A and B are shown apart, each in its own frame.
Chain A
Amino acid sequence: MSLLGDLRKKIAAVAGSVSEQIQSARLAIEAARNERRQLLRAPLPLAEIDERIDGVVEREGAEWLQKHAAELLRTNRYLTRALAQWDGRGAIEVPGTGDADFFGLLCAGAPAFAAETLRALIRRVEFTAGAPSSDRPKLIAAIEARLAALEHEEEALVDELNAGGLMTFQHRPEVVQRRSDAARARELEEQRVADRRARQAAVDAQMEAPQPGYLARERPDKTQY
């Protein structure tokens, strides 16, 4: 094999190895992001869900009452017409008995039953619980720190390879976007500072120009205090 051919083969091998390294760094970044996403989305442990149920029932019941209690008494078609009026005429009709409101109705009317129903229902659903909510901030912070280190490492690796000049690699899209935004912001800031400097210099020049006429001599400009 010719010397050039041999060299090409070696370069291709190095390029392949470097590409694999970058690819592996990016996979590690993606894995850390997935881990964070899963941690954020994972259901809470059953014990914690149980603790929340009473609060949810109370809140839903209060919201339902706030929305519909006035209707119950005001209209002649609804619940209290048949039950609370002296003549007791008419059929019972419950306001707001759509799917969402029906749960509210239960929470308002029979909170213990609603809570019990929820507890029973949650036990009939199969799910894999994640970490308790008290542990999550710490876990998320740890993943984010690892993610930041991985991102930084990958970015530095690409920068270093590109600086070598032998091969060119594209940065991740978010890095390209961030750098472009930063460059634009820097440019705008420089432009703003230059504009302000020029405007200020114009005012300074007007204010510091030698004063014409005899008035200037009358003023104690040279007074040393």
Chain B
Amino acid sequence: MAKTITPPAETFSERLAKILALLVGGGPGRLRLDARTESGIGHVQLDIDRVEPGWMPIPLLRLIEEGNDWFVQFQPAIAAAGGEAPPLRMEIAFARFKFPMQLKRRMNVADADAKRAILQRLEGFAARPTVIIDAVDEIVALWKLAAPLDFRHEQRAQIYLLQDNLAMALNATTAPQEQRKYHATTMETNHRPDSVAANSPLSWLPLCGRHRFAGAHAARPLVKILNLDSSRVYTADALHTATAGAAVPQLDGGKK
């Protein structure tokens, strides 16, 4: 009888490196990371020419090591390397789902039912996400785009349309219109990566984190990568089609 060989499970670092490779995509880029630690908030820009498979970039590794309690987020807009005003591009489409928190034993914890409902909703979606990230109070689904969308041109409208369609089809959280306007104005006048406003539809998405919470002796991971399949790549058109075919879910967050 043939033995079934189970491949070793991917480590946290390997999965992180895969996500970074997806985010950076085809070319060298500058990815912005935002790290929150006990000592405050810091922004780090990772200049990434090539993500080595299985390896976290050293600045990210250092960031994780140095924080006792920390939470690292990323901006999905990648600034191309070089030049004073490097163009922004987006290698992934995403949907974020905020879910209610419940007070249990004097602590805020995620509503497990709501979370499960969101995951089921994603499972039923025609275009299955490339990555699903499970954070403290939200789930983020990422769809790798076959060709990156460029913020400088008419594709910016396509980015917002795609994000809106995904949000609507999956009942995900979307940004208020006025925030988006502010973001668009900022982008018009200032093409720096900093110009991606913190409250824009492209605000920070969770990447990894750890917290030494009260009453426990060990640190608790704040973010989990639930699903990661780098082979799932979509054209913007395919995602539009998938959103068009999706039944609009109830607006109760999937709660029974």
By a beta-carbon cutoff of 8 Å, the part of chain A in contact with chain B is: 196, 199-204, 206-209, 211-216, 218-221, 223, 225
The answer to whether B56 has its CB under 8 Å from any CB of chain A is: yes
One of B11, B56, B110, B218 near A218 (C-beta < 8 A): B110
The answer to whether B119 has its CB under 8 Å from any CB of chain A is: yes
Which residues of A have CB within 8 Å of B11? 200-201, 204, 208
Q: Indicate the member of A201, A207, A208 with the most B CB atoms within 10 Å.
A: A207
Interface 9-mer from B175-183, B208-216, B236-244: B208-216
Contact B112 A218 (CB under 8 A): yes
Name the distance in Å between A10's Cβ and chain B's nearest Cβ.
Answer: 57
Name the distance in Å between B179's Cβ and chain A's nearest Cβ.
Answer: 30
A-contacting residues, B83-126, CB 8 Å: 104-105, 107, 109-110, 112, 115-116, 119, 122-123
The answer to whether B191 has its CB under 8 Å from any CB of chain A is: no
Known: A200-B13, A207-B208, A211-B221. 4 other contacts (CB 8 A): A200-B55, A207-B221, A212-B220, A221-B224
One of A209, A219, A225 near B227 (C-beta < 8 A): A225
One of A211, A213, A219 near B112 (C-beta < 8 A): A219
Q: Indicate the member of A196, A211, A214, A219 with the most B CB atoms within 10 Å.
A: A219
Which residues of B have CB within 8 Å of A212? 216-218, 220
Q: Which residue of A has the minimal Cβ distance to B111? A: A218
One of B58, B123, B210 near A196 (C-beta < 8 A): B58
With A199-B65, A215-B109 already in contact, the answer to whether A220 and B216 are too (CB < 8 A) is no
Which residues of B have CB within 8 Å of A203? 12-13, 56, 61, 64-65
Contact A223 B217 (CB under 8 A): no
* Top 9 A-B pairs, shortest CB-CB distance: A207-B12, A204-B11, A200-B13, A225-B227, A204-B12, A212-B216, A212-B218, A207-B221, A218-B109
Bound CA span A204–B112, Å: 25
Name the distance in Å between A205's Cβ and chain B's nearest Cβ.
Answer: 9
Contact B12 A208 (CB under 8 A): yes
Bound CA span A18–B56, Å: 53
Which residues of A have CB within 8 Å of B226? 223, 225
Which residues of B have CB within 8 Å of A200? 11, 13, 55-56, 61
